[in-house]
Structure 1
């Protein structure tokens, strides 16, 4: 599954990790997130996320 990065704060949504503290189970694809889902760090909407380029293998938060 592909990772998506918030263009506002840099948070990376990783489907294999999910967002359990906000009710998103492990393995939930970005496309399957509710339309009203927001970045858990800055509150930006899904439309503020772009496909993450992890070719540099940088750490995710």
Structure 2
């Protein structure tokens, strides 16, 4: 099993955790960042996927 990663929105600081996903917006828990659609946006500020950066937590 690979280690899950976390991605932070550079605009508002919201964290996407691969282990938790974003089920409220159609992203199942365990979904790696590479499989999150490019049309997905930050649930807090609507920033684009490109506005996220991987961060260790």
Calculate the TM-score normalised by the size of structure 1: 0.84
1:25 aligns with 2:28: yes
Partner residue in 2 for 1:42: 45
CA RMSD of aligned residues (A): 0.7
**Counterpart for residue 7 of structure 1:** 10
Post-superposition offset of 1:2: 1.1
The runs of 5 or more residues in structure 2 that have no matched partner are none
Of residues 12, 16, 19, the one that matches 1:16 is 19
Contact 2:7–2:17 (8 Å) recurs in 1: yes
Count of residues in Structure 1 that have an aligned counterpart in Structure 2: 54
